[in-house]
Amino acid sequence: RSDTGVITDLTEPVFLKQGCPVYLKIRTDITGKFARFYYSCDGIEWTKAGEPCSTDILTDEHCRGFTGAHFGMYCHDMTGLRLYADFDYFLYKNLSKM
């Protein structure tokens, strides 16, 4: 989490096999106030990553104004080794309306 320049790791590192595709998922609770992150190496068996976290800072309302919630994907190389990630796709589903 990065909150006004303060970076906090909310999960322990997850070590995966090199060359293995990784699937990522986030689910919110019914209120949308908390989110839980998951990862998978096959898109079928999912593992929780960390504890549920507040979604308060996923909105620009946190920064004195509101235009909506923000979700997206990016790679941040915290090692400085110029590591990268390739993303094949990003899919958003609103399961509450299904």
- Decide which of 38 and 55 is more confident: 38
Provide the pLDDT for residue 21: 87
pLDDT at 59 over 70: no
Quick: pLDDT tens for 62-75: 566 555 666 777 77
Determine the 3-state secondary structure of 24 from DSSP: strand
Highest mean pLDDT: which of 1-10, 28-37, 60-69, 89-98? Answer: 28-37
What is the separation of C-alpha 72 from the centre of its chain, rounded to a whole number of angstroms?
A: 8
Quick: pLDDT tens for 34-43: 889 999 999 9
